[in-house]
Structure 1
Amino acid sequence: MKRESLSGLLLIACAILAMAISNSPFGPVYDHWLQAPLPAGTHMSLLHWINDAVMAVFFFVVGAEVKREFLYGELKSRSAAMLPMAAALGGMLVPAAIYSVFNAGLPTAGGWGIPMATDIAFSLGVLSLAAPRAPRSLVVFLTALAIVDDLGGIVVIAVFYAGALNAPALAGGLVVGLLMLAACRRNWQQPWLYAAGGILIWLAFFYGGIHPTMAGVLTGFAMPAVPGKDGREGLLLRAEHALTPVSAFLIMPIFALANAGIRLDLSGLSGLLSAPGLGIFAGLVLGKPLGIGLAVWILVSLKKASLPDGLTMRHFWAVGLVAGIGFTMSLFIAGLAFPASPVLMTAKTAIIAASLTAAVLGGFIVNRISQ
């Protein structure tokens, strides 16, 4: 948990720094550097390179975590996985429904995926800092829930936020993916093989209309987790161990610096009262705990699952609020839902306001319950 605590604090610091710069005399320079095209032959700005290329490493770590949890972790057993999986599903559907109620029939209706997300590093960091005496089973539950939530977010991004599809490019990516899976089945452990395959899939997705960061997820899924013939730890676990600190302490802070720069003026804050602002805020702060708590309560009431030792329903309502810290994934989805739109700044403001509210209230309540 120490890593999650430090990563969460660093994310907060970078978000505050981005807002401070954006609201200072250096704000126009900050915006210019992010939006100016880089001379790389693709007409992509620095912001696009961060969100489309650098974040592929973050999504690789997410994919590796999901695969590891299903193979060896809390999601391996069907009975143990049922509670966090149902809670994650409830914690995605209810926020999306709340957002849709506020934005029904409006051009902003497509942002329903924004409040579905949970920032695993931020939420675990808040839990460890605010409630160091929280039961270990609660930490395990939140971790498993956030991983399933990430998997749901990946599906939403790939299916609902894709652009116009280019069949030949995607077919090429499919061939590369199948070759990587074949290499995984043969337990080939060469890192360069999967790195090269991941880059080719990134290019295929970039030109094929699917967000290219999904190449990181597929690369994580395709890597072998079993030990190699030399007895060394599986390539997936070695890559995850090597890249998790890079993702937590370099890539996610860079993403926060590039994406959390919101203007704290009257027009920016008034956006919180608009349909997308209210939908995002209510979805994260109200929808997350409601969806998670209801899902757990229904399963337990139907005797399909039992509460972990030492936990009561109060713990799940409270940790559901902590799960309302959307931040990284919510900001990412907002950029896909509202690209080059004035609504994007409203969405960012609502995400940051909701995440801070969920962090403060959720951390306080979990702390009181755990004493």
Structure 2
Amino acid sequence: MGVRRGFWGTARHIAASDRLSGLIMLGFALIGLILANLPATAHLFEAVAETHIAVPHTNLDLPIGHWAQDGLLTIFFLTVGLDLKQELTTGSLANPKAAAVPMLCAVGGMIAPPILFVVVTFLFAAYGPGDPGSVILPTTGGMIPFAETVHGWAVPTATDIAFSLAVLALFAKGLPGSIRAFLMTLATVDDLLAIILIAVFFSSVNAWYWFAGIAVCAAAWAVLVRMRRVPWIAVAVVGVLAWVMMFEAGIHPTLAGVLVGLLTPARERFGEATPRAERYADKLQPFSALLALPIFALFATGVHFEALTPELLLSPVVIGIIVALVVGKPLGIMTTAWLSTHLGGLRMAEGLRVRDMFPAACACGIGFTVSFLIASLAYTNMELSAEARFGVLMASLIAAAVSGVLLSRQSQRYAARQTA
């Protein structure tokens, strides 16, 4: 018992650390890329990722790589849904007026990247080598029409809240909490917008009766988690059924986690010390940070390239995503912040100026989890999907490096100002 408690305590401590959990996920992402491209391991890695696991007497027959994306990642989205519910009820999003600037910045930060991605890929198609209206993939030399390439416009829209907070924890120890609160609010709204984007643009709606089933599951969950003694077996069954209904309805099944998370009470009930949404998210965090996200990152970046060479960085898709995330994210955020405060009459948090947010805005260029997911949904061409995920990885590393340097310098200036 003591060993179990010690292990669980250590796991919760690691999961609660933005720094450690972010580094673990990055490590698994790099391992996936290496395993998929080393001659000694590439075949075995592909065989494992493509091994199908079926649920008897159902339509559920997916390769392991897809189970990681569609199944395990639901745990992450459930914690996102629970966190969103808590933020909307008692957290930073409970007061829309106070959260107005970061909420608007999240919108601006999702509008600018797709524009830059489309512009960059269009320039390659119009003026680059090859036939007009097409781009060349450096990995295969194949010609891809611009109309197909542009399907990845949504890939650079998302900010990875775990990684961006990990960078903040690593390099911004001396900064005021208002900067972290700004980034938390922005990233939370960004998550919500990304969820809506996936539901609207990357779902193929099927028969209506599956939606009736989703509604029944949602109602059952809402009732069960509000009972004085929660029947956890029934809750688990309802959660799994909601996932299945989403899958059959043609909606990405991970959104089932967001749905039931948002239906969980976020205020104390029956004399409880903490709200159930907060408590459940805290319990699920180790499974999300140390199981679901690392395994998803392993398979998401485990894409095989015929030639993993520096020429890959010249891919229009890779360059488009890097420009969109590294430049577009901070550009959209800072422009929106300036417009909303100088022309819109809104105010930043006490003691903060718009320019103070630039290092944190650069951290929002870390795409990762949701961007990987969108890349796999946006492209049916496997080579385009692989290049898009490689672009997300490169852009995230560049954004993390840039924001880390800027945050470290900003932190040093704050420390010097306080001791002066």
TM-score range (shorter-chain normalised) is over 0.9
CA distance in 1, matches of 2:121, 2:208: 32
In structure 2, the residue matched to 1:12 is 26
One of 96, 108, 111 as aligned partner of 1:90:
108
1:26 aligns with 2:41: yes
Note the C-alpha offset of 1:227: 2.3
CA offsets 1:171-191 (integer angstroms, 9 cap, x no match): 211232234345567777444
**SS of the residue 2:101 aligns to:** helix
In structure 1, the residue matched to 2:160 is 119
In structure 1, the residue matched to 2:200 is 159
CA distance in 1, matches of 2:275, 2:232: 11
Comparing 322-331 and 93-102, the one that deviates more:
93-102
CA offsets 1:50-100 (integer angstroms, 9 cap, x no match): 111111111000011111111111111122210110110001111122223
CA distance in 2, matches of 1:195, 1:40: 17
**What aligned pairs does 1:1-371 form with structure 2 within 5 A after superposition?**
3-24=17-38, 25-41=40-56, 42-103=60-121, 105-181=146-222, 189-231=230-272, 233-263=274-304, 266=307, 269-302=310-343, 304-339=345-380, 341-371=382-412
**SS of the residue 1:38 aligns to:** strand
Comparing 91-100 and 336-345, the one that deviates more:
336-345
Structure 1, unaligned stretches of length 5 or more? none
CA distance in 2, matches of 1:137, 1:52: 35
Note the C-alpha offset of 1:342: 1.5
Change in 2 beyond 3 A, CA 1:210/1:269: farther
**SS of the residue 2:61 aligns to:** coil
CA distance in 1, matches of 2:352, 2:266: 32
Note the C-alpha offset of 1:169: 1.4
Change in 2 beyond 3 A, CA 1:133/1:263: farther
CA distance in 2, matches of 1:176, 1:3: 33
Amino acid at match of 2:370: M
Change in 2 beyond 3 A, CA 1:132/1:263: farther
Structure 2, unaligned stretches of length 5 or more? 1-14, 123-145, 413-420
CA distance in 2, matches of 1:365, 1:28: 41
Q: Percent identity?
A: 35
Amino acid at match of 2:212: A
CA contact (8 A) 2:224 2:231 kept: no
Amino acid at match of 2:209: P
**SS of the residue 2:47 aligns to:** helix
CA contact (8 A) 1:119 1:329 kept: yes
Note the C-alpha offset of 1:307: 2.4
Note the C-alpha offset of 1:262: 4.2
**SS of the residue 2:99 aligns to:** helix
Amino acid at match of 1:76: A
CA contact (8 A) 2:42 2:304 kept: no
**SS of the residue 2:218 aligns to:** helix
Q: Structure 1 length normalisation: TM-score?
A: 0.93
Alignment RMSD (CA, Å)? 2.2
CA offsets 1:285-314 (integer angstroms, 9 cap, x no match): 111000000111111102532222343333
